[in-house]
């Protein structure tokens, strides 16, 4: 994560904190201060580091230290830790989206839960660009998706990934943007797109 991305994520976190402070049921959310404090620490860390230094949220220990100080039961502590990590990663992806750099994000474990968190923050509306990013990663076996890791991905995302993988196999030289129609098809007719992907498995590339 770059200093610009971290600063953008901090801005999103501060905006959310201001918005949530207006609602009584959200004002006492114990996760928010930990998330905001973590982003402030990351921004300061990168500001003090040599230019070009990056940061990987997975290596940070502040969230774990804060949760370790919690006197709640072990099960609650683990649940809270996971929630914070999901929220931090959601802020990271949101910051990259605002920078127009989502495609640069390396997929990793927990992306499926982050997708649900971003959808929740959007009031339940599906984030098409995030679904497209996930489907492309799954179709190209990138990062976390080098192995079987479908997890909580929805049928349209799975259908898009399957169809995209088969189209890329049949037309290896096609650019990813040339196959954008597959996303539209799977959004409106996920079952039909899945059936088409299965049918294409029997096709052979032209020689």
Q: What is the pLDDT along the chain (207 residues), one digit of tens a residue?
A: 777 888 888 888 888 877 777 665 555 566 677 777 888 888 888 887 777 777 765 555 554 554 455 555 566 777 777 788 888 888 888 888 888 888 888 877 778 888 888 888 777 776 778 888 888 888 877 777 766 555 567 778 888 888 888 888 888 887 767 777 777 777 777 788 778 888 888 776 655
Q: What angle do CA 75, 65, 98 make, to 5 degrees?
A: 95
Residues ≥6 apart with Cβ < 8 Å to 80:
30, 31, 67, 70, 72
Distance between CA 133 and CA 56 in Å, rounded? 20
Instruction: Identify the pLDDT of residue 165.
Output: 82
Residue 116 is assigned to a structural domain of this protein: no
Q: Which of 52, 78, 54, 74 is nearest to 64 (CA)?
A: 78
Instruction: Identify the pLDDT of residue 34.
Output: 76
Instruction: Identify the pLDDT of residue 207.
Output: 55
Same domain, 13 and 100: yes
Q: How far is CA 92 from CA 40, 76, 96, 127, 129, in A?
A: 13, 24, 6, 15, 15
Same domain, 100 and 150: no
User: What pTM did the predictor assign?
Assistant: 0.50
Chain-centre distance for alpha carbon 21 = 25
Most distant CA pair in the chain, distance: 66
Residue 112 is assigned to a structural domain of this protein: no
Last residue of a domain, one of 75, 105, 135: 105
Same domain, 3 and 101: yes
Same domain, 89 and 32: yes
Same domain, 159 and 77: no
Domain span at residue 130 reads 125-207
Number of domains in the chain: 2
Instruction: Identify the pLDDT of residue 17.
Output: 78
């Amino acid at each position: 994560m770059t200093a610009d991305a971290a600063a953008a994520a901090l801005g999103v976190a501060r905006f959310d904190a201001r918005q949530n402070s207006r609602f009584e049921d959200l004002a006492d959310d114990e996760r928010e201060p930990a998330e905001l404090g973590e982003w402030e620490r990351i921004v300061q860390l990168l500001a003090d580091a040599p230019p070009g230094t990056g940061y990987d949220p997975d290596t940070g220990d502040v969230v774990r230290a804060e949760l370790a100080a919690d006197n709640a039961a072990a099960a609650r502590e683990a649940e809270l830790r996971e929630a914070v990590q999901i929220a931090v990663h959601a802020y990271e992806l949101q910051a990259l989206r605002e920078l127009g750099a989502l495609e640069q994000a390396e997929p990793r474990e927990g992306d499926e839960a982050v997708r649900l968190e971003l959808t929740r923050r959007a009031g339940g509306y599906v984030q098409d660009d995030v679904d497209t990013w996930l489907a492309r990663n799954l179709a190209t076996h990138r990062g976390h998706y080098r192995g079987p890791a479908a997890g909580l991905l929805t049928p349209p995302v799975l259908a898009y990934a399957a169809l995209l993988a088969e189209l890329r196999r049949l037309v290896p030289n096609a650019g990813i943007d040339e196959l954008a129609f597959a996303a539209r098809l799977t959004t409106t007719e996920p079952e039909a797109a899945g059936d088409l992907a299965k049918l294409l498995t029997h096709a052979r590339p032209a020689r």
